[in-house]
Amino acid sequence: MSLKDKCAPAVFAGASFLCAAVTLCVLGFMVSLSLPVLKSGMLWKILTDSWSPDHGQFGILAMIVGTFYIASLSLIISLPISLGCSFFMQITHKGIAGRLLKKFVQFMTAIPTVVYGFVGVFLLVPLVRDLFSHGSGMSILTAALMLGLLISPTMILFFCASFERVPKIYTDAVDSLGATPFQKLFYVILPQAWPGVLTGLILAFGRAMGDTLVALMLSGNSIMLPSSLLDSARTLTAHIAMIIAADFDSIEFKTVFVSGAVLYLMTGCGILLARISGRRME
Amino acid sequence: MSQRLPDRLLSAFSWACALVLTAGVCMIIGFLILKGGRSLNLNLIFADTRPWDAILLKRQVFGGLFPAITGTFLLILLSVGVALPLGLCSGIYLAEYASPKARSVFGFMVDLLAGIPSIVVGLFGFSITIFLHHFYNSRIYPCLLISALSLAFLVLPYIIKTTQNAIERIPLLTRLTAPGLGATKLQNVVWVLLPLALSDIASGVVLAIGRCAEDTAVIMLTGVVATAGVPKSLFSGFEALPFYIYYTASEYKGSAELVKGYGAALILLSICSMLFIFAHLIKMLIDRRAGIMM
Amino acid sequence: MKQVCKLFPYFVVLSIITFTAGIVCASELDAFKGEKGVLRIAGGTAHIPVMKEAAKRIMTMNYDIQITIAGGGSGAGIKQAGEGLVDIGNSGRKPTDEEVSKYNLSMYKWAIDGVGTVVHPSNPVKALSGEQLKGIYAGKIVNWKELGGEDRPINIYTRDKSSGTRAVFWKKALDKGDISAKANFVASNGAMKAAVTNDPYAIGYVSVGYMDETVTPIALDGVIPTLKTVQTGEYKVARGLYSNTKGEYTGLAKKLITYLLSPEGQKIVSDMGLIPVN
């Protein structure tokens, strides 16, 4: 073996180690920079208090709740639409119409997030404000509507992939027995593909939790614990974007890193869950 | 006959969903074109400066999109330039050299990296900057280089995963041919596997380019500013197209600026769409030339 | 020959006048000739229009200079200047003694500005008392009909803690009263203006320099916030616009601040709707 052949694996492995190191470093930085806060025993307070720097309160509870509300609502909005579209592409209209829709959905993944946010501010916000005659139009509902549209392509493409993975033997068998599309879907495809559907859901939820621009531009960013769909709310991601301008030594700033760590851990758990359910697919 | 009803409902439901999705997206694009179409001219990009003077960097552009477009362009160049070799090597390692256990562990790490919210990546970049600023060299500020490196972290998973999947998709028989003839593993990778995987890797790279072009959260925390002109050095602030759009939406001063914002959104959308189409074309072209059935 | 000798004194006087006129008319921008480098500015958003115009003139005259301007609010400006992350940190409030001593800041005031309450032009409510304003922001008065307007809830907009505009408004207009947790947050003066322009039931506060026909200023205790009333002192919610540097100002920062305080710079200040100090 020449020198190149001996060194190559080391170089390739080194690159992988570097990537893994970066992943861990991100978590490491978040946690270590939040340590001053953790040390003073304020962790519980930060996770449960309300945000009121004037009164010395730096709790991010409202932001955690805001993230959950907006992400969950966008999932609820997006799930039926995504399921319906994947049924369209895989079951009911498998021909030209289905292929066209698939290309369209793939194209949707290329649309920049900031464009969704921009159109949301000038099209959706006045619509919501006038429709419900309440509030400024910037609310959980507005953000969730746009976010639902944003995460749909992810879910649809994932659902389609898992439907396609159902062994052809099964679908051929049930077709030859004379099953209707509905029966095929309900009795064969869904039971086989549901781990894939679950994985897609979890991944989309992670994507929704991690999105910054749509929430920053459309949800109003108030610090109050939201109690209704039309309330203004702030997500962890928008909170980080807004607080970054504050000074670096204050507790206020250090809470950013706690927010970052919380986000990292939440999405990390999501990835873990997705992996486990993905393994069940195989 | 009662079987027909569930089928009809299913069909109606899927049509409805497809229509809702399509209508939603078409409304967004249509709204942009309606409001911003008329602003698409050279004046939008170069404002009062003559185009050639601006492109040849003889004069600055004020009030036009040119600095933002060059900022985005440089960002893409730098971040893909860093992420590509790193991602390629990692992907090759995961596909060819890693043991199953290593594959599982590293695979998890890559998924984790892919799942990190972009703002957390930006926060990481920002904290590294502050760290270096305090302890290493106080002339380090959030700048183009830091933003590009952070963006590289963001798109690394795309390149790693597409490389790994592309190589693993090559049929086993093809993968074993060259080693069967006496080639070393490295020769197999470089001369057989990579060329075969090229089209997939290329479309993965174009995907990464698109991601760099549209990301806002990372650059917001690592050096993009509202006004900077064309970036003169790697260590200075810079403008970028997605940030310009965000900034206009938050604080436009009058309808003229707002129309420019729509125009900028249209330009960014067109850039990303063209990249998407380009990725598809690459795949089709390279696959056709290689004559591969995969 | 005799005629030339007769004309000679006039010629001398004329050349002296032209010479001195030449010196006086020479642009203050000439100080930037031959300079190169990057000047980093961040902080208060009320300063941005003036900064942008000054930067445009300087960069047009001298291509080798790059001036980057970011927002972030007064707090961010002071901290970043103090940490050495920017050369000039703008603030819409005077840095506190604590900040000055901690960061060794030098402050330079180049404009005076007011902070006025604004609503959408279609809103019939045009004047408020101090008590009413405090009640609105505290969340005690929640509907415009309580003030003679439409029967719609009041949408409050506010800035984050880093904002100097907010600090001045909170201290002088709200007497340090509470701001309701339901308030929507915006990140800059420009964003506040855009928010109020787009929401017919909004109330917010913005730098007087940013006010134009897209928002309507509210008279506070009988005084409408305009340039005039701020200048005469009749409208009390006013503040100076400062540029701060770490230590004494040097280099490009010094030249820019000197330029802002020069007649040409002060003209830019008044063009942008602020009150010059000179």
Q: Which residues of C touch B249 (CB under 8 A)?
A: 194
Q: Looking at residue A108, what is its pLDDT?
A: 92
Q: Which of A8, A5, A7 is nearest to B183 (CA)?
A: A5
The number of angstroms, rounded, from the C-alpha of B130 to the middle of its chain's C-alpha atoms is: 26
Nearest chain C residue to B235, by CA: C38
Task: Provide the pLDDT for residue C51.
Answer: 92
- Cα separation, C56 vs B279, whole angstroms: 39
Residue with tokens 């229009």: C49
pLDDT > 60? residue A246: no
Q: Report how far residue B145's alpha carbon sits from residue B150's, in angstroms, rounded to the nearest whole number.
A: 9
pLDDT confidence tier of residue B268, bands split at 50, 70 and 90: very high
Gyration radius of chain C over CA positions = 23
Band the pLDDT of C190: cuts 50, 70, 90: confident
Per DSSP, the residues of A218-267 read HSB---SPP-STTS-B--HHHHHHHHTTS-SSSHHHHHHHHHHHHHHHHH
> Is C69 close to B227, i.e. CB distance below 8 A?
yes
Neighbour tally for C200: CB within 10 Å: 19
DSSP string, C106-128: EEEEEEEEEEEEEE-TT-S--EE
Q: Which pLDDT does position A194 carry in this prediction?
A: 85
Q: How far apart are CA C232 and CA C222, in angstroms?
A: 15
Contacts of residue C227, Cβ cutoff 8 Å, sequence gap at least 6: C114, C208, C273, C274, C275
pLDDT bucket at B293, cuts 50 / 70 / 90: very low
pLDDT at A175 exceeding the cut of 50:
yes
Q: Is the pLDDT of residue B291 over 80?
A: no
Distance CA A174, CA A196 (A): 21
C23 vs C42 pLDDT, higher one: C42
Structure tokens, A141:
């509902």
pLDDT of residue A130: 85
Contacts of B155 (CB under 8 A, 6+ apart): B79, B80, B83, B87, B208, B211, B212
From the list A134, A137, A248, which residue is nearest C199 (CB)?
A137
Distance CA(C269)–CA(A72), nearest Å, equals: 49
pLDDT at B233 over 90: no
- What 3-state class would DSSP assign to C88? strand
Residue B2 pLDDT > 90: no
Mutate to test the interface with B, among C66, C192, C198, C272 (most CBs of B within 10 A): C66
pLDDT digits (tens, 9 = 90+) for C208-240: 888 888 899 999 888 898 888 888 888 888 899
Helix (H, G, I), strand (E, B) or coil at B227: strand
Distance (Å, whole) CA B113 – CA A23: 5
Q: How far is CA C118 from the centre of its chain?
A: 17
Nearest to C80 by CA among C46, C43, C131, C113: C43
Token pair for B265: 């959104």
Mean pLDDT for A11-20 is 90
pLDDT at A105 over 90: yes
Measured distance CA(B291)–CA(C234) in Å, rounded: 82
Each residue's pLDDT tens digit, C54-78: 998 888 888 888 898 988 888 888 8
Report the residue of chain A nearest C151, measured CA to CA: A133
d(CA A139, CA A230): 5
Inter-residue contact A84 to B18 (CB < 8 Å): yes
Give backbone dihedrals phi and psi of A190, rounded to 5 degrees, phi first.
-60, -45
B140-168 CB burial, b ≥16 within 10 A, e <16: bbbbbbbbbbbbbbbbbbbbbbbbbbbbe
Note the maximum CA span of chain B: 79
pLDDT at C14: 56
Select from B197, B210, B156 the least CA-distant residue to B292. B197
Q: How far off is chain C from B202, nearest CA to CA, in Å?
A: 36
Q: Is the pLDDT of residue B28 over 90?
A: yes
Query: A253 is written with which tokens?
Result: 């700033």
Residue with tokens 């280099």: C251
Could you read off the pLDDT of C243-255 as tens digits, one per residue? 999 988 888 888 8
Q: In whole numbers, what is the pLDDT of chain A averaged over residues? A: 86
**pTM of the full structure:** 0.88
> How far, CA to CA in Å, does B256 sit from each of B44, B64, B248, C209, C240?
11, 12, 11, 19, 30
Give the pLDDT of residue A248: 56
Mean pLDDT of A94-113: 90
ipTM: 0.88
pLDDT at C10: 61
- Non-local (6+) Cβ contacts of C145 within 8 A are C151, C152
Q: Cβ contacts (< 8 Å) between B276 and chain A: which residues? A: 106-107, 109-110
Q: Which of A135, A242, A252 sits opposite C153 (nearest CB)?
A: A135
Please give the Cα distance from B143 to C65 (Å, whole number).
17
Query: Per-residue DSSP letters for C37-79?
Result: EEEEEEE-STTHHHHHHHHHHHHHH-TTEEEEEEEE-HHHHHH
Contacts of residue C59 in chain B, CB cutoff 8 Å? 60, 62, 229
Is the CA virtual torsion C55, C59, C65, C71 positive or negative?
Answer: positive
Lowest mean pLDDT among B186-190, B269-273, C10-14, C140-144: C10-14
pLDDT confidence of residue B186:
85
pLDDT confidence of residue B1: 45
Which two three-digit tokens encode residue B126?
């920002």
What are the C-alpha distances in Å from C54 to residues A48, A120, B242, C267?
A: 47, 34, 25, 11
Q: How far apart are CA C186 and CA B250, in angstroms?
A: 8
DSSP, residue by residue, B5-33: HHHHHHHHHHHHHHHHHHHHHHHHHHHHH
How sure is the predictor about A229, in pLDDT bands with cuts at 50, 70 and 90?
confident
Do C36 and C63 contact (CB within 8 A), yes or no? no
pLDDT band at A9 (very low <50, low <70, confident <90, very high): confident
Question: What is the pLDDT at residue A222?
Answer: 87
- Contact by Cβ (8 Å): A76, A68: no
* CA dist list (Å): C55 to B240, C31, C48: 18, 14, 10
- CA distances in angstroms from A86 to A79, A102, B7, B12, listed in the order given: 11, 9, 15, 13
Distance CA C105, CA A11 (A): 50
A187: amino acid identity, one letter = Y
* Beta carbons of B232 and C38 less than 8 Å apart: yes
How far does Cα A18 stand from its chain's mean position? Answer: 26
pLDDT tens across B98-137, in order?
889 989 899 899 988 988 999 999 999 988 888 888 788 7
User: What average pLDDT does this structure show over C130-158?
Assistant: 90
The C-alpha of B49 sits at a distance from chain C's nearest C-alpha, in angstroms, of 10
Distance separating alpha carbons of residues A59 and A36, to the nearest angstrom:
15
Phi, psi of C86 (to 5 degrees): -130, 160
Query: What confidence tens digit (pLDDT) does each residue in C147-183 have?
Result: 888 888 899 999 888 888 998 999 998 888 888 888 8
Average pLDDT over residues A229-247: 83
At A129-166, the pLDDT tens digits run 888 877 778 889 999 999 999 999 989 998 998 888 88
Question: By 3-state DSSP, what share of chain A in percent is helix, strand and coil, each rounded to 5?
Answer: 80, 0, 20
Q: Tell which phi-psi region holds residue C66, choosing left (phi > 0), alpha (psi between -120 and 50) or beta.
A: beta
Q: What is the mean pLDDT of residues A238-251?
A: 73
Which pair of tokens denotes residue A108? 């949707």
Residue A245 is nearest to which of C162, C182, C195, comparing CB atoms? C162
Nearest alpha carbon to residue B230 among B40, B22, B67, B7: B67
From chain A, which residues contact C within 8 Å (Cβ)? 50, 52-54, 125-126, 129, 133-138, 220-224, 231-232, 234, 242-243, 245-248, 252
Question: What pLDDT score does B274 carry?
Answer: 92
pLDDT at C21 over 70: no
Tell me if C126 sits within 8 A of C148, measured CB to CB: no
pLDDT at B17 over 90: yes
User: Between chains, do B228 and C66 touch, taking CB under 8 Å as contact?
Assistant: yes
Which of B257, B141, B157, B264 lies closest to B213, judged by CA?
A: B264
Inter-chain CB proximity B124 and A25 less than 8 Å? yes
What are A41-64's pLDDT values in tens digits?
A: 777 777 888 887 767 777 888 899
Cα–Cα distance for residue pair A47/A91, rounded to 1 Å: 46
What pLDDT score does C25 carry? 47
Is a pLDDT exceeding 80 seen at residue B139?
A: no
C264 at the A interface (CB within 8 A)? no
User: Pick from A23, A15, A112: which is nearest to B163 by CA?
Assistant: A15
